[in-house]
Structure 1
Amino acid sequence: MVTYNKEQIKNLQELDKKHYLHPTSSLKQHQENGPKRIFTEGKGIYLTDVNGDQYIDALASLWNVNIGHGRKELGEAASQQMGKLAYSSSFNNLSHETVIQLSEKLASLTPGDLNVFFFTSGGSESNDTAFKLVRHYWKMKGQPEKKKIIGLERAYHGITMGATSATGIQQFQNMTTSLAPDFLHAAAHKTNCEWGDKNDSDYSRSIRGIIENEGPETIAAVIVEPIQGAGGVIIPPDGYLEAVRDLCDQYGILMIADEVICGFGRTGRMFGVDNWNVVPDIMCMAKGITSGYIPLGAVAITERLRDNLAEVSDDVLFHGFTYSGHPTSCAVALKNIEIIEKENLAAHASKMEMELIKGFKYLTEKHSSVTKSRAKGLLGAFELFEDREQGIPFGPEKMAAQKLVEECLSQKLIVRSVTFGGTNIIALSPPLIITKEEIEKMIMIFSDAIQTVEKSLRLQSV
């Protein structure tokens, strides 16, 4: 382990403040206090900082380090590929071996006939690509008016222009003064409405209600996360995704599944939609495809969609990124998927779901503020309420979730708060290699941290 003296650490902190604009962070806090932690090494479920302190990375950094930190196999795969062919372009129908191999491998994993792949550098690019492809598809089919995209409230799809516009979290939209047109947002998980129950008070806000109001001839696609991640780990009720699939089929609308967080074993199945046996027309992926070891995203489309596009247009597909199908990224993805399969990590995530639920039950029984826990595979969350019996949440001024995240960090546990819409949600998604004993250790840290925060909040109320 590399060690740093106080002068080196201070220098890194000052350079960070001076030169690094952090993503999704408070600029004011950064300029006042510098970086919260500077990490130098990772091994398994742990990260080590410049002080030599070790933390449980219970968020898999950004929902993505599925196989855990420090897997030398991925570095070796990258090195071997770089020594052979580090980069080449896929424009103008040029190709290379690793992108072909990865496409074939993904086709063996994706459901139905989602057997055709376009590669990107990450999730935002994947979702933007999907939006462009569906609009291009309908235009080529002689229906250019089919251009509206329906997403869900509390959904997160990324931060490029189209992805931000599709995102149903207001704070992300407020950051810009101009959103892309033709994006609509439906109330999430209104299963009865999507099956056609017009007696529901939320019917007009449902996907079906919006389709009927806007006219199906104007709707290009519906995009859903199998489980909403950044919105608070919101698991849909049984029958919901099936209802959306049926609704899209009924009205001739394409269904896009955003699997950026859910994909590659996170939910206990290879892809989130596999939990409900739903096959979308388009599937967007990133994060777990390389476990975050190198940037890569992908968009899977059905063979039918590809064939239809080929039939109606002999023009160039004027869409592509410099790093589409990057050879080194593809090589890393292949090795990553090999590890996920060889170590049965999706099945392991399903098994560890039971341990996570058991831990949440313990926290709920021991701490009066803990409620509404849920998990699917190793994607989980619980909420903090001031009075859970009466259903009274903590007010936003008490910053309950944020305080718990900070207390967990002080106790060497990294988790995430979700406070959109006045919620106090604690989200976690540890690496898929986590063990029963490590989950128990994580739960004990949670318990100590919750006890500290509950005491602080009681004193604050006095």
Structure 2
Amino acid sequence: MATYNKDQIKNLLELDKKHYLHPTSSLRQHQESGPKRIFTEGKGVYLTDVNGGRYIDALASLWNVNVGHGRKELGEAASEQMGKLAYSSSFNNFSHESVIRLSEKLANITPGDLNVFFYTSGGSESNDTAFKLVRHYWKLKGQPQKKKIIGLERAYHGITIGATSATGIQQFQNMTNSLAPDFLHAAAHKTNCELGDKNDPDFARSIRGIIENEGPEKIAAVIVEPIQGAGGVIIPPNGYLEAVRELCDQYGILMIADEVICGFGRTGKMFGVDHWNVIPDVMCMAKGITSGYIPLGAVAITERLRDSLAEVSDDVLFHGFTYSGHPAACAVALKNIEIIEKENLPAHAGKMEKELKKGFEYLTENHSLVTKSRAKGLIGAFELFEDREKGIPFKPEKMAAQKLVEECLSRGLIVRAVTFGGTNIIALSPPLIINKEEIEKVISIFSDAIQEVEKSLKLQSV
């Protein structure tokens, strides 16, 4: 492990403040205090910083380090590929072996006939690509007016202009003064409405209500996360995704599944939609496809969709990124999927779900502010309420979730606060290799940290 003296650490802090504009971070806080932590090493579920501090990475960094930190075989796969062919363009129908092998592998593990793949550098690019492809499809089919995309409230789809416009979290949309047109947002998880219950008071805000109001002839696609991640780990009720699939079929609308967080074992199955046996027309992937070891995203489309595009157009597909199908990234993805399958990580995540829920029950029983816990595989969350019996949430100015996250960090645990819309949600999604003892340690740290928050907010434990 690399060691740093005080002068080296001070120099890194000052250089970071001077030269690095951090993503999704407080710029003012950064300029006042510098980086919160500077990490130097990762091993398993742990990260180590320049001061020698060791942390359980219970968010898998950004929901993505599925196979854990420090997997040398992934670095070796990249090195081997770079030694043979570091980069080659896929434009003009050029190709190379690693992208072909990865495409074959993905076709074997994705549901239904999602057997055709376009490659990107990450989730935002994947979702933007999906929007362009479905609009291009309808244009070629002689229905150019079908261009509107319906997303869900509290959904997160990325930070490019199109992806931001599809995102249903207001704070991300507020960052820009010009969003892309033709994006609509429906209330999430209104199963009765999607099944046709017009007496439901939320019908007008549902996907079906919006389709009927706008006219199905104007709607290109509906995009859903199987489980909403950044919005607060919101798991849909049984029957919801099936209802959305049936609704799209009824009105001739394409269904896009955003599997950027849920994919590659996170939920206890290879993909989130597998829990509900739903096959979308388009599926977007990133994050867990390489476990974050190298940037890569992908968009899967059905063979039917590909064949329809080929039948009606002899023109060039004027969409592509310099790093679409990057050879080294594809090689890392292949090795990463091999590890996921060899170690049976989706099944392990399903097994550890029970341990995580058991830990959440312990926190609920012993701390009066903990409520509404949930988990699917190894993505989970709980909420903090000032009075859970009366359903009284904490006021935003009390910053309950943020305080708990900081108390956890000071004790060597990295988790995330979700406070959109006045919520106080604590989210976690540890590497899929986490074991029972490590989950118990996570819960123990949570309990100690919650006690400190209770003291600061003058609350009592159960």
Percent pairwise identity: 89
Matches within 5 A, 1:22-421: 22-421=22-421
**1:436 aligned residue:** 436
Deviations 1:102-159 (A, max 9, x none): 0000000000000000000000000000000000000000000000000000000000
- Structure 1 CA distance, aligned partners of 2:147 and 2:308? 17
What's the secondary structure of 2:371's corresponding residue?
strand
Gaps of 5+ in 2: none
RMSD between superposed Cα atoms in Å: 0.7
- Kindly indicate whether residue 421 of structure 2 is the aligned counterpart of residue 449 of structure 1: no
- 1:304 aligned partner, one-letter code: R
- Kindly indicate whether residue 424 of structure 2 is the aligned counterpart of residue 427 of structure 1: no
- Structure 2 CA distance, aligned partners of 1:161 and 1:53? 38
- Structure 2 CA distance, aligned partners of 1:455 and 1:239? 42
- Structure 2 CA distance, aligned partners of 1:2 and 1:126? 36
- Structure 2 CA distance, aligned partners of 1:60 and 1:384? 22
- Structure 2 CA distance, aligned partners of 1:201 and 1:224? 22
What's the secondary structure of 1:372's corresponding residue?
strand
What's the secondary structure of 2:457's corresponding residue?
helix
Deviations 1:327-373 (A, max 9, x none): 00000000000000000000000000000000000000000000000
Deviations 1:278-302 (A, max 9, x none): 0000000000000000000000000
- 2:274 aligned partner, one-letter code: D
Deviations 1:378-417 (A, max 9, x none): 0000000000000000000000000000000000100000
What's the secondary structure of 1:447's corresponding residue?
helix
- 2:200 aligned partner, one-letter code: D
- Structure 2 CA distance, aligned partners of 1:34 and 1:381? 29
- Structure 2 CA distance, aligned partners of 1:290 and 1:270? 14
- Structure 1 CA distance, aligned partners of 2:172 and 2:305? 31
Deviations 1:72-91 (A, max 9, x none): 00000000000000000000
- 2:183 aligned partner, one-letter code: F
- Structure 1 CA distance, aligned partners of 2:39 and 2:459? 34
- 2:317 aligned partner, one-letter code: L
What's the secondary structure of 1:126's corresponding residue?
helix
- Structure 2 CA distance, aligned partners of 1:286 and 1:354? 26
What's the secondary structure of 2:277's corresponding residue?
coil
- Structure 2 CA distance, aligned partners of 1:366 and 1:268? 28
Deviations 1:303-326 (A, max 9, x none): 000000000000000000000000
Deviation at 1:458, TM superposition (A): 1.1
What's the secondary structure of 1:458's corresponding residue?
coil
What's the secondary structure of 1:220's corresponding residue?
strand
Gaps of 5+ in 1: none
- Structure 2 CA distance, aligned partners of 1:257 and 1:2? 42
- 2:133 aligned partner, one-letter code: L
- Structure 1 CA distance, aligned partners of 2:398 and 2:237? 31
- Structure 2 CA distance, aligned partners of 1:53 and 1:402? 21
- 2:453 aligned partner, one-letter code: V
- Structure 2 CA distance, aligned partners of 1:5 and 1:454? 36
- 2:17 aligned partner, one-letter code: K
- Structure 1 CA distance, aligned partners of 2:104 and 2:2? 40
TM-score (norm 2): 0.99
- Structure 2 CA distance, aligned partners of 1:29 and 1:427? 22
- Structure 1 CA distance, aligned partners of 2:52 and 2:334? 33
Deviation at 1:451, TM superposition (A): 0.5
What's the secondary structure of 2:193's corresponding residue?
helix
What's the secondary structure of 1:119's corresponding residue?
strand
Q: Which runs of 4+ in 1 moved over 6 A?
A: none
- Structure 2 CA distance, aligned partners of 1:178 and 1:384? 34
- 2:19 aligned partner, one-letter code: H
Deviation at 1:377, TM superposition (A): 0.1
- Structure 1 CA distance, aligned partners of 2:453 and 2:232? 20
- 1:150 aligned partner, one-letter code: I
Deviation at 1:459, TM superposition (A): 7.6
What's the secondary structure of 1:307's corresponding residue?
helix
Deviations 1:153-194 (A, max 9, x none): 000000000000000000000000000000000000000000
- Structure 1 CA distance, aligned partners of 2:39 and 2:186? 40
- 1:311 aligned partner, one-letter code: E
